[in-house]
């Protein structure tokens, strides 16, 4: 492995979109810190990366916990290399119509998506500015445009877009870009939970979503990983503060 290998951290990397992103970045030559709330759950992603000849370690942290975030980033820097790519991907849903939504559901979703992205970014930014090179890629959602039952999630995902644009402005002069991906319906465990919440089977849910999608198929985690790979490239250095809707149709 080259000494020049750059290191990336992918939050929520144990499964779903995060696992696909971690594997894609490793294929593209990055060493990857696979971070999740349950460090043991990251082993599968790390094993797959190593089996394919890549470098990766597991990292455990609740992204909304400042101390755990600082410790995980420091460990990544010690054991794998200074992180200069950050994918803020960890997330949860706690859907409910506004009149039923508890303060706890609101706080939890805002805290993991929005505060978590802030804490992770603040913890890695000095590694990026010191290197004079960095890539921050934040996971928003088409729900940022509004979605029934998701006032907490939509607010967090819209907040992430404003956060990203501000990072682009503040960090651009250090060679650091910040961009956002807003996925449409991507087949992961999160969508199974969405179908449950709607009280329909996953198959029924998926066929409705396919009917509403211009390219007439569900998104796959690898579709998002491909967009991440673009933003992480060296020659994407003039692309910053952008929101890319990867949703199989026209959104924005």
| Positions that interact with ligand NDP (CB under 6 A) | 11-12, 14-18, 36-38, 62-64, 89-92, 112, 116, 139, 141, 183, 185-186, 188-191
Nearest approach, Cβ of residue 133 and ligand NDP (Å): 25
Taking the least distance from each CB to ligand NDP, the nearer of 172 and 210 is: 210
Catalytic, 153? Answer yes
* Residue 185 beta carbon to ligand NDP: minimum distance, rounded to whole angstroms: 5
- Which residue, 3 or 189, is less far from ligand NDP as judged by CB? 189
Q: Which of 79, 9, 6, 75 is nearest to 42 (CA)?
A: 9
With H, G, I as helix, E, B as strand and everything else as coil, classify residue 62.
coil
Beta bridge partners of 179: 137
Nearest to 34 by CA among 53, 19, 52, 24: 19
CA distance 45 to 62: 18
Least distance between ligand NDP and beta carbon 230 (Å): 17
Choose between 3 and 203: whose C-beta lies nearer to ligand NDP.
203
What is the helix, strand, coil percentage profile of the chain, to 5? 55, 15, 30
Q: Are the beta carbons of 217 and 206 closer than 8 angstroms?
A: no
Distance of CA 163 to the CA centre of its chain: 14
Q: Which is nearer to ligand NDP, 130 or 148 (CB)?
A: 148
CB of 174 to ligand NDP, least distance (A): 26
Check: CB of residue 58 under 8 Å from CB of residue 42: yes
Q: Are 59 and 12 in contact (CB under 8 A)?
A: no
Among 166, 91, 107, which Cα is nearest to 136's? 166
Q: Which one of 153, 185, 202, 251 is the catalytic residue?
A: 153
**Whose Cβ is closer to ligand NDP: residue 62's or residue 105's?**
62
Closest-by-Cβ residue to ligand NDP is: 16
In the complex, the smallest distance separating the C-beta of residue 5 from ligand NDP, rounded to whole angstroms, is 24
Active site residues: 153
């Amino acid at each position: 492995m080259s000494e020049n290998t750059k290191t990336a951290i992918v939050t929520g990397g144990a499964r779903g979109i995060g696992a696909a992103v971690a594997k894609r970045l490793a294929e593209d030559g990055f060493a990857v810190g696979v971070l999740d709330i349950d460090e043991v759950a990251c082993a599968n992603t790390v094993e797959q990366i190593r089996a394919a000849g890549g470098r990766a370690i597991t990292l455990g942290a609740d992204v909304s916990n400042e101390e755990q975030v600082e410790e995980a980033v420091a460990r990544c820097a010690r054991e794998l290399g200074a992180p200069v790519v950050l994918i803020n991907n960890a997330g949860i849903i706690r859907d409910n119509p506004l009149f039923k939504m508890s303060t706890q559901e609101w706080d939890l979703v805002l805290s993991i998506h929005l505060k978590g992205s802030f804490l992770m970014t603040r913890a890695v930014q000095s590694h990026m500015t010191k290197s004079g090179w960095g890539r921050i890629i934040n996971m928003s959602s088409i729900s940022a445009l509004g979605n029934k039952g998701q006032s907490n999630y939509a607010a967090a995902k819209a907040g992430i877009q404003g956060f990203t644009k501000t990072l682009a402005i503040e960090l651009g002069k250090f060679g650091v870009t910040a961009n956002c991906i807003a996925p449409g319906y991507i087949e992961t465990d999160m969508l199974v939970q969405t179908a449950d919440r709607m009280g329909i089977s996953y198959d029924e849910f998926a066929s409705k979503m396919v009917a509403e999608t211009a390219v007439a198929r569900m998104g796959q985690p690898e579709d998002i990983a491909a967009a991440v790979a673009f933003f992480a490239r060296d020659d994407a250095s003039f692309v910053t503060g952008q929101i890319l809707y990867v949703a199989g149709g026209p959104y924005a």
